[in-house]
Structure 1
Amino acid sequence: MEETRRILRRAIYAFLRGYQSFTSIAVLLVSPVSAAVLFSQAMAPSSSRMMGTIQARLDALFAAAGLPATSDLFSFLNLKFSQTIVSFVLTLPFVLTFLVLAKASVIQLVCGSSRRKEFPPSLPSILRLYLPLLQTHLCSAFVAISANAAAFSLLFLAFNTADALGLTSDRLILCLSIAGAIVYSVLLANSLVACNLAIIVSGVENCGGFLPILKACALLRSRAATALSLALPTSLFMAAAEALFHIRVIKPYRAANRLTPSLIGEGTLIIYIYSLLLVLDIIVSCMFFKSCKLASESDCELGCSYSSGFASKADKKDAAAACVFVRSKLLEQQ
C-alpha cells in the first residue's frame, strides 16, 4: 500500500505541475470520448432492438454451453455484458481517434525525456506515436476478448462437470455461479491492467502490436496487486461520475422530455470531470510504468552483484555494461 500511495502522490503532483496542458488535452481530445461513453451507456437500455438481439444471442449461447441462463446472476451478467457490447460499438470510433491521440499526448508529457518534454507536446511527436498506440489498442481489445472467452470456457467446464457428476442442487449452482463471477472479475481485471500498461510501453518504446503486451506482462510480475490497487480509485470515481450523469442528466431529461440550461450545464461539467479522471488514469499508468522500470533496474543491479562472485571477468563486464545501459535509459526517461 505504501508503494501505491507513493505512485498516486507522484501522479497527482505531475497532473498539478502540468495542469494547463492536461486540462487542454482533457477538453480538446478526451471530452468527445467522455461524452460518447456517458451517452452510449445511457442510451444502451433504450436501444431495445440492438439490446434485445444481443441478449437473445447471449441467452442462446449460455443455454448451449450448459450454463444456468435463467439464474439471477447470469441474467444480470447477460444484461451488463450486452450493455458493454453496445457501448463498445458506439464509442469505438472515438476511442481509436481521440483517446489514442490523448494517450500519446499524455505519454509525451509524463514519460518523455527532458529533451522532448514540451508543454504542450508538438503535433508531429503525437502523430509519430499514433500508429504504434493504435496497433497496441487493437491488440489489447483482442486480449480482452480472449480473457472473456477464457473465463466463459472455465465456467462451461465447471458447470458441465458438475452436471455430469449429478451435482445440480440450487445451492451448488449458486456457489459455482459466485465462484465463476469472482474468477471472471479477476481474469478481466488482470487483463485490463496489463493492456493499460502495454499502451504506456508502446508509447515510450515506440513499438506496437503484441510486443508491448508481452513486455507489460513481464513488468507486472509480482506487481499485479499494486497495479490493481492503482486502478481501483480512478475506476470507482469514473463509475461515480457515470452514475451521477445518469441521475442528474438522463433521468430528468427522460422525465421532462426536453433540454434545459441546467441540464446542459450539469452534463458539460460531468463530462469535463470524467475527462479529467481519464487523463489522471493515464498519468497513474505512466507513473506505474516508471516504478516498474526502476524495479527492473534494481533487479538488474542485484543480478550483477550476485553474479560477481561466480562469473568470469568477461561476463562481469557485460553485466556491468548492461546495468549502465539500463540506468542511462531510465535517466533519459525521467
Structure 2
Amino acid sequence: MRRTGLARGHGAVTAAGRAGRVMRAAVAAFFGGYHCFSSVAALLALPFSVAVLASEAMAPSSGMLRGVASRLRSVFAAAGFPPSAFFVLLEAKLSQTVFTFAATLPFALTFLLLAKACVAGMLREEDAPGVQLRWRRLAALPPCGATARAYPALVATHLFNAFLMLSANAAVFSLLLLAFGAADVLGLTSQAWTLALSAAGAIVYSLAIGVATVVCNLAVIIAAMERGCAGHAAVLRACVVIRGRVSTALALALPINLGIAAAEALFHLRVVSRHRMDRRLVPGVAGEAFSIAYIHALCVVLEIIVNCMFYRSCKKSEADELRELEPEEKGDLQA
C-alpha cells in the first residue's frame, strides 16, 4: 500500500508543476545571492557571452562558415537527401552551430567552465554532523582551491559532451537517411510525402538534440557538484538522474534558452544592424553592446543555477523514494 501511495503521489505532480517549483527555487537562490552571482556573471560569464555574440555577428562574412555550409551541402547530396526547406534550414543551423562552437571553444573551456564551477561550489550540498543537508553560505564566492580542484573534471566532461553531441547528430542523420531511403524504395517520392517526412524529421531531430543537450548540461553540473565523477561517468549519472524527468528538464530548458535567444536577437537588432549601417561603432552602440552582453551573461548564470537546482531536486526525490521504501522492505524481512 505504501508503494502504491508513493507512485500515486508522484504521478499527481505534473512535469510543469515540478519545473515551476525548480524555477522558483532557482530564481529565489539567484536573488538571495545576487551579489555573488552577478560577480560571476561579470568576471567569468561575460567574456564567454561576448565571444558568443561576436562570433554570431561575424558569421555571415566568415569564410569558415561558408566552407562548413558547402561541405554539409555536399554530404546531404551524397547521402541522397531530397532537396527541401528542412534540409536547407538544417544546413544553415548546423553550420552556424559548428562555427560558433569552434570560435568560442577557448572561452567555453576557461571562462564558462570556471563560472559553472563557481556557481556549483556556492550551491553544493555539504555533509555536516547532525545536519542532513546544509547549503554553503552565499555571502561570498567559493574558495579558489575548491574551484581549481573541480575544474579538470569539468573540462573532461565538456570534451566528452562534444563527442556525445556529435554522436547524437550522426545517429539522427542515420535514421533520417533510412527513412528517406525506405520512402524512395516504396515509391513515396511525391511532394506531400517529402514534406511529411521532413516535418517528422524536424520533430525527431529537435527532441533528440534537446534531450542530448539537457543530459550534457546536467553532466557538467554533476561533475562540478559530485567529487570523483567526470567524463563518461558524469554522463551516465546524468542519464540515471534524468530518467522519468525528461519532460521536466525540457520544460526548464525552454524559458532559459528563450531568454538567451532574445538577448542574441536584441544584439543583432540594436548593435549589428546599426554597425552595418553606420560602418563604425559609436559610443552609444558600444554601451548597448556591453549591456546586452551582460544580460546574456546573467542568463547563462541563471541557466547554471537552474541546472544545479534541478539536480538537487532529483537527488531529493531519489532520497525520498528510498526513505519511503525502506520501512516496507524491513517489514518484509521480519515477516
Is residue 2:101 matched to residue 1:95?
no
Match of 1:14 in 2: 29
Structure 1 residues 3-12 or 174-183, which shifts more? 3-12
Counterpart-to-counterpart distance in 2, 1:13 and 1:39: 31
Unpaired runs of 5+ residues, structure 1, are 314-334
Match of 1:257 in 2: 279
- Residue correspondence of structure 1 range 308-323 to structure 2 within 5 A: 308-311=330-333
Q: Give the secondary structure class of the aligned counterpart of 2:230.
A: coil
TM-score by length of 2: 0.90
Match of 1:53 in 2: 67
Structure 1 residue runs of 4+, over 6 Å off? none
Counterpart-to-counterpart distance in 2, 1:38 and 1:115: 34
> How many aligned positions are there?
311
Label 1:33 to 1:42 Cα distance change in 2 as closer, same or farther (>3 A). same
Is residue 2:99 matched to residue 1:86?
yes
Is residue 2:99 matched to residue 1:77?
no
Determine if contact 2:23/2:306 at 8 Å carries over to the other structure.
yes
**TM-superposition CA deviations, 1:181-233 (whole Å, max 9, x none):** 10000000001111111111111112211101111111111111111001111
Match of 1:25 in 2: 40
Counterpart-to-counterpart distance in 1, 2:250 and 2:71: 32
Counterpart-to-counterpart distance in 2, 1:283 and 1:157: 40
Q: Give the secondary structure class of the aligned counterpart of 2:331.
A: coil
Structure 1 residues 241-250 or 106-115, which shifts more? 106-115
Counterpart-to-counterpart distance in 2, 1:312 and 1:201: 38
Match of 1:205 in 2: 226
Match of 2:80 in 1: 66
Determine if contact 1:106/1:283 at 8 Å carries over to the other structure.
yes
Alpha-carbon offset, residue 311 of structure 1: 2.9
What amino acid does structure 1 have at the position aligned with 2:234?
P
Alpha-carbon offset, residue 302 of structure 1: 2.9
- Residue correspondence of structure 1 range 283-302 to structure 2 within 5 A: 283-302=305-324
Determine if contact 1:45/1:83 at 8 Å carries over to the other structure.
no
What amino acid does structure 2 have at the position aligned with 1:66?
G
Q: Give the secondary structure class of the aligned counterpart of 2:333.
A: coil
* Amino-acid identity (%): 47
Alpha-carbon offset, residue 72 of structure 1: 1.6
Alpha-carbon offset, residue 305 of structure 1: 2.8
- Residue correspondence of structure 1 range 71-220 to structure 2 within 5 A: 71-113=84-126, 114=134, 117=137, 119-206=140-227, 207-220=229-242
Label 1:37 to 1:249 Cα distance change in 2 as closer, same or farther (>3 A). same
